[in-house]
Amino acid sequence: MTGMNHGRREALKKMGYAAIAVGVYWKAPSLLASHAPTAPVAVGTCKTYNPAELLSTLGRMFDQLGGLKRIVSGKTVAIKINLTGAPTYRVGYLPLGDTHYTNPQVITAAVHLIGKAGAKRIRILESSWSSAYPLEETLLQADFDPRQIESAAPNVEFENTNFLGKGKKYSRLVVPFGGYVFPAYELNHSYSDCDVFVSMAKMKEHETTGITLSMKNCFGITPCSIYGASAGIDDPDENPKGGRGLLHSGTRQPSKIAPAELDTTTPRQGGYRVPRAVADLIAARPVDLQIVDGVKSLSGGEGPWAPGIAPVQPGLLVAGTNPVATDTVCMKLMGLDPMADRGTHPFETSDNMLRLAEEAGIGTRNLNRIEVIGARINDVALNYTDQRRVSLMRHGSLPTRGIFSALT
Amino acid sequence: MSSELIPMRWPPQWRNSSALQRLSNTHINCLLIENPDSQHSVVEQAQRNGIRVIHETQLPGITVIKGEWPGAKLSRSDNRDTASSGPTGLPWVDSNGWKARLAAALNPKSTVWVDVTPRDPPPRSYPLCVADVAACGGAWIISLDDQLAAGIERGDSEPVETWKGLIESVEFFATHNYWSAYLRAAVVGVMSSFSGDNEASSGEVLNLLARTTEQYRIIPNESFSANSLSGLQAVLCPDSDPPGAGLRKPLLDFVQTGGLLITRSAWDGVPGTPANWDHPRYAGRVFGRGRIAVAKSDDAADPYLVANDTVALVSHRFDLLRFWDAGSVNAYLSEAPDGNRAIVQMVFYAREMNGKMATGGPENATVRVAGRYRTARLLTCDKQPATLGQPDDHGVGMLIDGDSVELHLPSLSHYAAVELGV
């Protein structure tokens, strides 16, 4: 099956669902892609996690996007941060916020600015790895201080969305275009009990999907109680353990409380399924604001377990209001091609989730249609692949856990 | 080791008294000989060498407990080591440490020996067996499997190396026996009868709580004293029946002054007002400056849940030790009576490599220790002590961060200790 033919056929089918769902004219994917929404993306340089530097840089970027007040004033704002994997793993001796977790200072600065812009309530969300304990406990294990985040603005709360959590029931969020993998997802109430949804991601590559930015961060909104290794066949496991193997591999269906897959004959492969699930999820739970932490990060993979990783220091922050447009700019800043498709770097074994989202009409990946504000891409881009090579030369082998110590 | 006697079960294959030369220049000073009548020459020579020979039935002042061979449960699968896991998906670890600590708490005037018969153990795990018990203040009755004893007797190189590694570990703990005077730091007290219907479940709670590296104090109901709760953040009462009336007042006093009481069973008339908690298994009450968490049902009684719920209810905010990339580790923090020094002892049962578990210690563990320390010295059984200062080119060293220090450790084997100075 060729990616393009299959993708086109698949998108046509989905668009048919979308036409039924929203009562609009059916459009070919190419037409939808060319008309996919766009939005400005702000790029800021920020060399350190110094709070003053972060506040001024983020503040300027939000102003460049038209100001936070219009987005968050008087609203309940939910912020999905990125804490991938267990909080007990580091890359070498480096703090988690300097490699694969959203840095706590970035969270704190953004919370402060969102609060200052008049948010009624701010909820920090993440589905903690293999846990149903409070999110604050995961933060502490990572050596983050939740009190610092909590005190950055009035009415800040935390919720671990890996299970039912504080809600009385799960929220079913329907994929408006019909869905690539599932027609709807059962999520923790926090993703529907909010007026504004923010994806606060890390600027990283990903072993399975090539990249993980503001879109892929939303893969983690799925509760492992339903979509995880320990999920019950019929009912959710409210004490979830392990990862989202079933979403990756499709070896089984989620707990019956959630809608089953649309088509179980599709490839049972992470590179096929995960990008599609991501496109589903950002359609089902639109991302109103994206903040991508690229001050310090990781190349070659999403976490310490990925082979061939190396720490990088792009010194960048990116913000936008369309996740596809934002991730397109991020990819260019990482020295990657957002138009690349399966078989080409960084999508050697994966479909391009940006293409899938674009074809679903969520946003454009055509850089010519995206207004980039602030730093110029060519002036500040940092080629992740080259950075890994530099690391290779310095260390004699591709750094993995334990071989290197300090940021190169 | 708290005991002055360092015991070894004499291998029956070592029939010649010349084998006693293997013990010269070691701290092994006590032999358990199964049939002393048939080993006259060994017994006599041992006694001439100042080694005490005892029969297993003659152990005054010594509490002997049965143990199991320590280590992570690793099995061979597709030619790779894989771990048998517990309910978390983390590898299951057998350790005698908690048993030694419990025996010492129940028999405070007694020395604790742990009797573990090796049955086809991996040779490199002998030093682990020593450290697993010694780090908890007890002593393993050194016992060799038949193959190892015979190999040493023949002078085969691999068994002799295993013997040397074992002796290195024994010597290390004998040299540092002054640590037994240090006071164990604790965040949580585990209070139980540790007997009858509660014996198995409370023991398993101790075992699994150790796996979280939460620092705890064992408080048998019968030996409760005014000092039992001093310095603790929380007390866990895992027994199915509530503590007796005599213990109720000091426990509630502890709560009133800011402590957390976690109890499995509902007390009649638990004081305080309902707390605004969202916990699936515990109902919360506020009493004075503290809190009481009462299990809602027997669903909360599973020892794994009890241990992990306790850690979360207390909060990682109060962690005395916090690890990254340490693999399967049990760790113990204790402080010198003068408060100027502390020792972190770490026993490593398995490490993780590329997503698979393997025996041995970690490559690059980090441990955060709560406290204002300024110096750190790394001690292992097989290498010279090393100062941990500013991180070196490999990142190994110490970072001082206000009220805590972060220790970046080099590649380690089964055991390491870090001596901290203020």
| C-alpha–C-alpha distance, residues A2 and A12, integer Å | 15
User: Which pLDDT score, from 0 to 100, does residue A9 have?
Assistant: 45
Q: Tokens 């922050």 — which residue?
A: A317
Confidence at A395, pLDDT banded by 50, 70, 90: low
Q: What is the bridge-based pairing of β-strands B93-94 and B71-72? A: antiparallel
| Strands in B150-207 per DSSP E | 183-184, 188-192
Two tokens at A388? 């890994």
Nearest residue in A to B300, CA atom: A239
Chain B CB contacts of A239 under 8 Å are: 305
Chain A CB contacts of B278 under 8 Å are: 166
Task: Count CB-CB contacts under 10 A for residue B352.
Answer: 21
What b/e string do you get for A349-372 counting C-beta neighbours within 10 Å, with b at 16 or more? ebbbbbbbbbbbbbbbbbbebbeb
CA distance A343 to chain B (A): 25
pTM of the model: 0.92
Chain A CB contacts of B305 under 8 Å are: 239
A305·B408 Cβ contact <8 A: no
- Positive or negative, the CA dihedral A356, A358, A363, A366 is positive
CA proximity to A281, closest of A298, A252, A301, A258: A258
Which residue from A134, A137, A405 is facing B394, i.e. has the nearest CB?
A405
CB contact at 8 A, B324 and A89:
yes
- Positive or negative, the CA dihedral B304, B305, B311, B314 is negative
DSSP state of B222: G
A84-100: average pLDDT: 95
A140·B393 Cβ contact <8 A: no
Q: Is A40 helix (H, G, I), strand (E, B) or coil?
A: coil
User: Which pLDDT score, from 0 to 100, does residue B1 have?
Assistant: 40
| C-alpha–C-alpha distance, residues B307 and B208, integer Å | 6
Task: Count CB-CB contacts under 10 A for residue B257.
Answer: 11
User: Which pLDDT score, from 0 to 100, does residue B360 have?
Assistant: 84
Q: Is B376 helix (H, G, I), strand (E, B) or coil?
A: strand
| Strands in A209-286 per DSSP E | 210-212
| C-alpha–C-alpha distance, residues B83 and B93, integer Å | 10
A90 touches chain B (CB under 8 A): yes
Chain A CB contacts of B87 under 8 Å are: 241
| C-alpha–C-alpha distance, residues B188 and B161, integer Å | 41
What is the Rg, in whole angstroms, of the alpha carbon atoms belonging to chain B?
A: 23
Chain B CB contacts of A157 under 8 Å are: none
B316·A238 Cβ contact <8 A: no
More confident position, A3 or A155 = A155
Q: How many helices (H) and strands (E) does chain A have?
A: 14, 14
Task: Please write down the HEC assignment for all residues of A152-209.
Answer: CCCCEEEEECCCCCCCCCCEEEECCCCCCCCCEEEECHHHCCCCEEEEEEECEEECCC
Chain B CB contacts of A241 under 8 Å are: 87-89
A157 touches chain B (CB under 8 A): no
CA proximity to A404, closest of A388, A383, A380: A388
**Burial class of residue A70 (count of CB atoms within 10 Å of its CB; 0-12, 13-18, 19+):** exposed
Walk across the sheet containing B404-408 and list its strands. B321-324, B366-370, B404-408, B397-401
A238·B280 Cβ contact <8 A: yes
CA distance to B9, B60, B123, per residue, from B151 (Å): 17, 33, 12
| C-alpha–C-alpha distance, residues A18 and A138, integer Å | 38
Chain A CB contacts of B324 under 8 Å are: 88-90
pLDDT digits (tens, 9 = 90+) for A45-81: 999 999 999 999 999 999 999 999 999 999 999 999 9
CA distance A85 to chain B (A): 12
Which residue from B88, B316, B324 is facing A241, i.e. has the nearest CB?
B88
User: Which pLDDT score, from 0 to 100, does residue B300 have?
Assistant: 87
**Burial class of residue A2 (count of CB atoms within 10 Å of its CB; 0-12, 13-18, 19+):** exposed
Instruction: Give this complex's ipTM.
Output: 0.93
User: Which pLDDT score, from 0 to 100, does residue A393 have?
Assistant: 67
| C-alpha–C-alpha distance, residues B412 and B89, integer Å | 24
B88·A130 Cβ contact <8 A: yes
Residue B240: partners with Cβ closer than 8 Å, 6 or more residues away: B197, B198, B201, B264, B265, B301
Chain A with chain B: Cβ pairs closer than 8 A: 63
CA proximity to B12, closest of B30, B43, B39: B39
A89 touches chain B (CB under 8 A): yes
Percent of chain A with pLDDT over 70: 88
* Partners of B324 in beta bridges: B366
User: Which pLDDT score, from 0 to 100, does residue B354 have?
Assistant: 60
Which residue from B305, B325, B393 is facing A90, i.e. has the nearest CB?
B325
Chain A CB contacts of B365 under 8 Å are: none
B325 touches chain A (CB under 8 A): yes
Two tokens at A154? 């009035």
Task: Report the phi/psi class of residue A225: left, alpha or beta, with left for phi > 0 and alpha for psi in -120 to 50.
Answer: alpha
Chain A CB contacts of B364 under 8 Å are: 92-93, 401-402, 405
| pLDDT tens, N- to C-terminus, chain B (422 residues) | 445 899 999 999 999 999 999 999 999 999 999 888 888 999 999 999 999 999 876 678 999 999 999 998 765 444 444 455 444 456 789 999 999 999 999 999 999 999 999 977 887 799 999 999 999 999 999 999 999 999 999 999 999 999 999 999 999 999 999 999 999 999 999 999 999 999 999 999 999 999 999 999 999 999 999 899 999 999 999 998 888 889 999 999 999 999 999 998 777 788 999 998 878 899 999 999 999 999 998 888 999 999 999 999 999 999 999 999 999 999 999 999 999 999 999 999 998 766 667 778 999 999 999 999 999 999 999 999 999 999 998 899 999 998 999 999 999 999 999 999 99
| C-alpha–C-alpha distance, residues A283 and A174, integer Å | 8
CB contact at 8 A, B363 and A399:
no
Which of B302, B310, B311, B316 to substitute to test the interface with A, most A CBs within 10 Å? B316
Chain A CB contacts of B393 under 8 Å are: 405
CB contact at 8 A, A44 and A376:
no
**Inter-helix orientation angle B199-211/B303-314, to 10°:** 50
Task: Count CB-CB contacts under 10 A for residue B40.
Answer: 10
What is the Rg, in whole angstroms, of the alpha carbon atoms belonging to chain A?
A: 20
CA proximity to A140, closest of B129, B87, B368: B368
Which residue from A93, A133, A166 is facing B364, i.e. has the nearest CB?
A93
User: Which pLDDT score, from 0 to 100, does residue B351 have?
Assistant: 84
Residue A368 above 80 pLDDT? yes
| C-alpha–C-alpha distance, residues A54 and A37, integer Å | 29
User: To the nearest whole number, what is the mean pLDDT of chain A?
Assistant: 90
- Positive or negative, the CA dihedral B237, B241, B242, B243 is negative
B317·A140 Cβ contact <8 A: yes
Residue B351: partners with Cβ closer than 8 Å, 6 or more residues away: B327, B328, B357, B358, B359, B360, B361, B362, B363
CA distance B409 to chain A (A): 9
CB contact at 8 A, B341 and B296:
no
pLDDT digits (tens, 9 = 90+) for A243-292: 898 899 999 999 999 999 999 999 999 999 999 999 999 999 999 999 99
Chain A CB contacts of B355 under 8 Å are: 305
A378-395: average pLDDT: 83
B88·A305 Cβ contact <8 A: no
CA distance B1 to chain A (A): 31
**Inter-helix orientation angle B199-211/B97-106, to 10°:** 130
User: Which pLDDT score, from 0 to 100, does residue B123 have?
Assistant: 74
Nearest residue in A to B322, CA atom: A141
A406 touches chain B (CB under 8 A): yes
CB contact at 8 A, A361 and A286:
no
Two tokens at B124? 């490199």
CB contact at 8 A, B205 and B238:
yes
CA distance A88 to chain B (A): 5
Chain A CB contacts of B88 under 8 Å are: 130, 241
Task: Count CB-CB contacts under 10 A for residue A54.
Answer: 25
Residue B162: partners with Cβ closer than 8 Å, 6 or more residues away: B123, B124, B126, B148, B152
Which residue from A137, A166, A405 is facing B278, i.e. has the nearest CB?
A166
A137 touches chain B (CB under 8 A): yes
| C-alpha–C-alpha distance, residues B276 and B285, integer Å | 8
Chain A CB contacts of B312 under 8 Å are: 133-134, 137
B176 touches chain A (CB under 8 A): no
Chain B CB contacts of A238 under 8 Å are: 280
| Omega within 30 of 0 (cis) for the link into B60 | no
Nearest residue in A to B395, CA atom: A405
Q: Is A318 helix (H, G, I), strand (E, B) or coil?
A: strand
Two tokens at B89? 């998906």
CA distance to A90, A100, A313, B372, per residue, from A316 (Å): 22, 15, 8, 35
Q: Is A211 helix (H, G, I), strand (E, B) or coil?
A: strand
B316 touches chain A (CB under 8 A): yes
A141·B280 Cβ contact <8 A: no
- Fill in the amino acid letter for A338: P
Confidence at A26, pLDDT banded by 50, 70, 90: very low
